[in-house]
Amino acid sequence: MKNKNSSRIKAADEARQRPITPNHAFQVTDPANCPGANQASPGAGAQCGPILGLRPLGQPASPGLSAITIPPAAMTLSSDEPPSYIERVQKNFAQQSVMRLMGAELLSIHAGAVDVGLNWSEPLTQQHGFLHAGVLATVLDSTCGYAALSLMPPEADVLSIEFKINLLAPADAPRFRMEGRVVRAGRTITVTEGRAFGITHENGHPREKLVATMHCTLMTVLPRT
């Protein structure tokens, strides 16, 4: 076990040198660079671009972290400033001591979609050296929560009220990517789904393996008047 954990630690250290995605949550490019996008009337200043690792929940995992094109209408910005929800999610995430304790990091933020990265670390494992199910649940819960928060009013906060996690495979990888996607956003209740992927590298190419899924329900918390 000690030798195997030593190899995991080495792989995790190498993974830290290969970030999953650039932390450019709203980086966009000219619509002309968006193949297949409907540019008939995308709106003033509409833009789109490749977002690494971001895909709908219904789409199978790609063999690597290929770029996914976001239609212009989904990436329209009213100005050169990032949408306000990005700063809110970043600020709220920074206040979570447990995310710092685990070493989790924000990878991408979009309306209704957030990705979080986590490196394998021995203190986060169970007796077999796999990432502990409680760690997966904690980070997936937060990831789904921030996906929900991105669609809530500026003055709102978010709390989980229920979640269910399915553990599909041992979380035995040097690096993990958690994604949270909003399924339905209501005025009070938001339903989300999350997925956790273990990331390895074969011949220099990243490979993702689905290790867990989550169904998470959250509530909008508004200030009392």
Least confident of 44-53, 107-116, 176-185: 44-53
Cα 23 to the center of its chain, rounded Å: 11
Q: Which residues pair with 34 in a beta bridge?
A: none
Amino acid 154: pLDDT? 94
Q: Is the pLDDT of residue 46 over 90?
A: no
Q: For residue 225, how many other CB atoms are within 10 A of its CB? A: 3
Average of per-residue pLDDT across 11-31: 42
Share of the chain above pLDDT 90, in %: 59
Between 76 and 104, where is the model more confident? Answer: 104
How far apart CA 202 and CA 199 sit, in angstroms, is 10
How far apart CA 160 and CA 216 sit, in angstroms, is 7
CATH number at residue 142: 3.10.129.10
Q: Which of 107, 97, 61, 73 is nearest to 200 (CA)?
A: 61
Confidence band of 5 (pLDDT split at 50, 70, 90): low
How far apart CA 103 and CA 134 sit, in angstroms, is 15
Average of per-residue pLDDT across 105-119: 96
pLDDT tens for each residue of 161-198:
999 999 999 999 999 999 999 999 999 999 999 999 99
How far apart CA 154 and CA 220 sit, in angstroms, is 11
CA torsion sign for 40, 45, 51, 54 is: negative
What total number of domains does the chain contain? Answer: 1
Between 170 and 205, where is the model more confident? Answer: 170
pLDDT tens for each residue of 135-167:
999 999 999 999 999 999 999 999 999 999 999
65 close to 208: Cβ distance less than 8 angstroms: yes
Q: Which residues are CB-contacts of 187 (< 8 A; sequence separation ≥ 6)?
A: 220
Residue 170 is classified by DSSP as -
How far apart CA 84 and CA 71 sit, in angstroms, is 20
List the domain range (segments joined by +) for residue 11: 2-221
pTM of the model: 0.69
124 close to 102: Cβ distance less than 8 angstroms: yes
